[in-house]
């Protein structure tokens, strides 16, 4: 937490209070220069900035996966000047799939507009939420004016039930992914994350971090994204090869599929 606070304060200083840059005097700036001044970094960021984002909302519900929500939260909260809200159907306690309880002080009744909506995934909790007409109606309302509407993992199932995947390219958690996306009228792409216009979807769990970084890159540009990645020290190097259907032994994939079948049944 301390490192994030320091990072944010530093960014606020040179983005909001730092001196204006005379681009004629600075000349050409190379990102790979060994020493960059505050003004030069400021110029790089300003030259790449695409848009401003005021409010991001992450819809949470009983049974959502921790990392689906808090991985993107850690990334997106690095957008200076942006408020990231946790939102639930009702204010109060929400329990994650691993039993962690959080208190949510924003309800869908109070939130009428978001620049970005993000919906995390889960298992049975996701299925239950995808059948909640009140939440689906709210999602459609938010999507009607949002800049981006996004999902992580099986959160795409909720978007699908809301009718937002129709004729859209999308991805989701690997489990029966193609069948799921096509059942909602979408076209499945087996990618880490997929953008189709304002719609962003990611594959399972950790892929939400990559998608969120891609969002930051689309909003703020490459320099800002690299600074944020460095602040998070995001440079994953897993100890073994795996983590996707293509990189995992088929026997293990089938075993995991059976586990999901047992957990979800015919839902």
Which residues are known to be catalytic? 153
Strands 101-104, 92-95: pairing kind: antiparallel
CA 197 – CA 37 distance, rounded (Å): 36
Contact by Cβ (8 Å): 160, 180: yes
Residue owning tokens 């109070």: 110
Q: Is the dihedral of CA 131, 132, 137, 138 positive or negative?
A: negative
* Residue 153 and residue 204 in contact, taking contact as beta carbons nearer than 8 Å: yes
Strand partners, 59: 87
CA distances to 9, 24, 54, 78, 181 from 155, rounded to whole Å, are 33, 47, 23, 22, 11
Query: Which residue's entry shows tokens 């007409």?
Result: 133
Distance in angstroms (rounded) separating the CA atoms of residues 12 and 255: 49
């Amino acid at each position: 937490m301390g490192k994030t606070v320091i990072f944010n304060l530093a960014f606020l200083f040179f983005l909001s209070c730092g001196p204006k840059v005379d681009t004629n005097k600075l000349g050409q700036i190379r990102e790979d220069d060994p020493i960059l001044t505050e003004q030069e970094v400021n110029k790089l960021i300003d030259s790449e900035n695409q848009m401003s984002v005021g409010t991001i909302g992450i819809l949470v519900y009983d049974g959502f996966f921790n990392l689906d929500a808090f991985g993107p939260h850690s990334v997106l909260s690095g957008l200076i000047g942006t408020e990231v809200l946790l939102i639930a159907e009702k204010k109060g306690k929400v329990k994650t799939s691993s039993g962690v309880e959080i208190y949510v002080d924003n309800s869908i009744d109070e939130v009428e507009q978001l620049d970005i909506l993000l919906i995390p995934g889960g298992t049975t909790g996701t299925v239950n939420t995808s059948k909640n007409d009140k939440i689906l109606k709210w999602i459609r309302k938010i999507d009607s004016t949002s800049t981006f509407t996004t999902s992580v993992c099986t959160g795409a199932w909720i978007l699908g039930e809301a009718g937002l995947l129709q004729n859209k390219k999308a991805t989701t958690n690997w489990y029966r992914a193609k069948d799921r996306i096509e059942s909602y009228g979408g076209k499945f792409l087996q990618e880490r994350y997929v953008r189709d216009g304002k719609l962003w979807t990611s594959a399972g769990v950790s892929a939400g971090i990559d998608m969120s970084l891609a969002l930051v890159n689309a909003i703020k540009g490459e320099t800002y994204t690299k600074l944020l990645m460095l602040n998070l020290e995001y440079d994953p190097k897993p100890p073994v090869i795996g983590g996707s259907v293509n990189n995992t032994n088929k026997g293990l994939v089938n075993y995991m599929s059976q586990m999901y079948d047992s957990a979800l049944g015919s839902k």
